[in-house]
Amino acid sequence: MRTFHHLTHDLPGKPPFVPPASPASEPHRRTRRDHATETAEDYVEAIAELEASRGECRLVELAKRFGVSHVTVNRTVSRLCKEGLAETAPYQPVSLTARGRRLANRCRKRHEVVLQFLVSIGVPAEVAAIDAEGMEHHVSPQTLRRFEAIASEKDAGCN
Amino acid sequence: MRTFHHLTHDLPGKPPFVPPASPASEPHRRTRRDHATETAEDYVEAIAELEASRGECRLVELAKRFGVSHVTVNRTVSRLCKEGLAETAPYQPVSLTARGRRLANRCRKRHEVVLQFLVSIGVPAEVAAIDAEGMEHHVSPQTLRRFEAIASEKDAGCN
DNA sequence: ACAAATTTGTAGCTTTGGCTACACTTCCAG
DNA sequence: CTGGAAGTGTAGCCAAAGCTACAAATTTGT
């Protein structure tokens, strides 16, 4: 993600051939940006759940949850700490900061809405669980509102 | 993606502490797997479009489309070639193989279905375009069928 | 209390996907 | 027909997210 302008002195004689970057590239740029936050979102959500269900969140549990090695979890949690979303100390459990908790709550709600929406339109529960996991990070607030409305509509039996 | 067992002699005295990997990790593993194919899907789709609209697909056009540098495009296209989805020669345009074209067609259809579905449930077109871009890769065939059904339902004015 | 099991940390590797800087082809205009 | 602009290639850097192997700490069972 980092840019390196420290060597780009922008000497006026030679514009270093900047690529034009069409407006149509916006959705892609957005999708890439989402990507960067996906991991953080998944992690804070998992941490919150584990704290709720077990009282504390240990790295091994996260590793099991995501199906990755504890090393990957360790590094990712370090990143979350640097970003001010989580806190931890060597050999101690992981906890969320206030910011992390807020993010976790938002993600949990969004996840639930997406999942219930998929189920409400007739997607089998197991498939819906998988799709929701992948889709949730790309659902905008506007779309989420529509999902919510439709899910509750169907729940009320108005179809 | 590569694994390195060349030093894992599996001496029977010490099982190298295999992580348990809960069943709940499946959706995440699946999502990660999707990730790997997302780029390929986006690229073949873009290549097909550019071939259709301009007769040929040049790297610069792809770079503009995705908002990335031509270097990134170059490397990604090389990977597509290795995977048998595209073909190119130095300083020549990029074209799709038969496999690449089939993939592109599937992706285009899926993209259209997702986009139309979002619009049909009342998401503003611009927002729908962005969301579709991010969501499409995570929509299973089952969910896609539901999307399709609902979109055509609404189109027919049955609500 | 101590050995074993579990958990966590660290070193070092891979691939993917970003980037800049610079070199080289192509191609067209004058 | 030649020179510059546009397009492409290559070298080399970065960060994220995956891994194994090994080391250290902590917890647990006897």
**B42-83 per-position pLDDT tens digit:** 999 999 999 999 999 999 999 999 999 999 999 999 999 999
- Residue B52 sits at the chain A interface (C-beta within 8 Å): no
* Residue with the two structure tokens 């090695």: A69
**Quick one: tokens of A58?**
């240990």
Of the two residues A21 and B2, the one the predictor is more confident about is: A21
Distance of CA B8 to the CA centre of its chain: 34
Which residues in chain B, range 82-121, keep a C-beta under 7 Å from any nucleic strand C atom? 90-91
pTM: 0.86
Handedness of CA A32, A48, A109, A98 (dihedral sign): negative
3-state DSSP assignment of residue B55: coil
Q: Is the CB of B156 under 7 A from strand D?
A: no
CA gap A119, A132 in Å, rounded: 10
CA gap B141, B144 in Å, rounded: 5
pLDDT tens profile A11-62: 343 444 455 567 778 889 888 888 879 999 999 999 999 999 999 999 999 9
A25 with B146: Cβ contact below 8 A = no
- Residue A20 sits at the chain B interface (C-beta within 8 Å): yes
Instruction: Tell which residue, A82, A84, A85, has the closest CA to residue A43.
Output: A85
Q: What is the pairing mode between strands B86-87 and B95-96?
A: antiparallel
For residue A8, pLDDT over 90 is answered with no
Q: Is the CB of A78 under 7 A from strand D?
A: no
Cβ(A67)–Cβ(B25) below 8 Å: yes
Contacts of A30 in chain B (CB under 8 A): 130, 133-134
R_g of chain B computed on alpha carbons: 20
CA gap B100, A80 in Å, rounded: 38
